[in-house]
A and B are shown apart, each in its own frame.
Chain A
């Protein structure tokens, strides 16, 4: 199987790439930090990947998306799985007051993903098979005071994916929206961790199994579906007063 991973050095992406490598897949990794990327390539090779190639990309340089994906498809030939993982978690106080910052975060977490998906869709249509999976967030399910800018960007992607899923259905391409809950990774290093936090490895197992089974909207870990059901059921006149 040939797997393309974008934002490959994030903790969840890394754990997912390792599972695919141990299954003997060929991987093409795209990320911004060259040192981290090279280290991960070495790791995946040791773990048994059939081949590992890579490309550097700053996700916010939209003009470079096409050539980067050209190189990826050239390296892999057919792509069975394309997984988009990159993201950044902004400081809400800063982005709520500064549009430039908010725009940058929405570009990173939202627009850059839309750009990549726009480019990937025709390539997958031409193949007539494969899976496109994107890591979004439970934060996109409802706008909450402490992270609504991040949440809005993720919601943008989730809504986009719902439409894309329908469009690609007749081309036998599946679209998986992975809504990750609280994940203990370098991105969330500053938060104290409680019982709801899960490891990147656990989320990665869920990603691989959902892609294999052809899931649509997947909560990772699964209990987040229940939590978000409750969160979304809270009437707005109460919810607007909540600070969590």
Chain B
């Protein structure tokens, strides 16, 4: 079959194997040739080539909840369970996932492998920091449990390790108590990037904080943005406080022609969105689905970028250099005549102990670009700007970074590789990404 990530670029022919459970996975691994290589694939929501290889091991059938301890607020489940399923089951019990990305469709295994972050990273850190324990099937077929205290080296390599240390089959997650699934959102308008940074710093106590940025604004308006702050609503004794909103979706049936996304349409969209949001009410109460996952209401929104797909470019730059770094990036994009439909800015808290985890103290900007040949030299240039400002790129979004850029910006890659080689001497676990980045031959 033709396999691709969420960005629909790159694509490759791959065999998809979906074992029914960990015993079937162990049997499958035992029956493979020594030379065969494979990578785990969860819900297929990483953007680039991190879950692409000639053989993909899918976790779709590892979708059981194993136990829920409401008193200790912990949930044990299979790695194929999606975050949306967890919310649907946990919200009625007043429990919530402590870290949520921009879509509820990701699997638990994928969330751990990419050590995903959410709008509350500055406060609660990344997903892996709420994983109490996980079970990993090694390429040898051995099942190994690990946590921050047991096999901790393997644990810190696996959280954020892009599936390269083994197959995550099960995990125990810590949950957070909530009174209501509603989020009280406050929006602040920032006329430029500096103002946006100031607003973010001033609101460091907010539970959730993320800014939408008009990446096409120039000059004194460069970086104009709307900062969205969120807090969990207190209980209002509404029945809907404890239900996960199930809503219909609009599907995008086919890839829309890419020429519809050009600088003119993006510019109109960005500036009208800014003006509309700037004129809207400052405080609203939103259900958690609308607040956290606005794009999920359009299933297959990735098709909007045309048949060639798109690249998402997400980087982080340490706070000290962030204002100049992000300004330079935005100016360079503008000069190149490119733009991003959605641009999202957020402040990260401190980095954790996971060896390949992306978040580190600083500001992160996410941009979407439709795939076209002229884009690649521009992104190479952006890499140099990011690197010069001490930053790095997010592996779950990456489809094209060079080995040099990766190794220069992820200083603990050698420690990671040493652990990977302990559990996978023959380099049987490899993705197109790991090979491109020089982590596997």
Contacts and interface: CB of A to CB of B under 8 A. Distances in A.
Interface string A94-128: 00000000000000000000000000000000000
A35 B68 contact: no
A48 interface: yes
A216 to B, nearest CB: 29
Nearest to A11: B61
A192 to B, nearest CB: 7
A48 to B, nearest CB: 7
Nearest to B23: A35
Contacts of A48: 89, 92
Given A46-B89, A192-B1, A36 B67 contact: no
A29 interface: no
The interface size bin for chain B is: 10 to 19
A47 to B, nearest CB: 6
A35 B21 contact: yes
Nearest to A42: B66
B64 A39 contact: yes
Contact of B67 (A40, A46, A186, A189): A46
Contacts of A186: 18, 20, 61
B65 interface: yes
A186 B92 CA distance: 31
B175 to A, nearest CB: 12
B233 to A, nearest CB: 24
Contacts of A39: 21, 64, 66
Contacts of A40: 64
Most buried by A among B17, B65, B68, B77: B65
Contact of A36 (B21, B66, B89): B21
Given A35-B23, A39-B21, A186-B20, A47 B1 contact: no
A206 B50 CA distance: 36
B18 A42 contact: no
A45 B67 CA distance: 8
Interface string B116-148: 000000000000000000000000000000000
A189 B18 contact: yes
Nearest to A187: B20
Interface in B10-37: 17-18, 20-21, 23
Contacts of B67: 42, 45-46
Interface string A42-59: 110111100000000000
16 contacts: A11-B61, A22-B89, A35-B21, A35-B23, A39-B21, A39-B64, A39-B66, A40-B64, A42-B64, A42-B65, A42-B66, A43-B64, A46-B89, A47-B65, A48-B92, A189-B18
Interface of A: 11, 22, 35-36, 39-40, 42-43, 45-48, 186, 189, 192
Given A36-B21, A46-B77, 12 more contacts: A35-B23, A39-B64, A39-B66, A46-B66, A46-B68, A46-B89, A47-B65, A47-B89, A48-B89, A186-B18, A186-B20, A189-B17
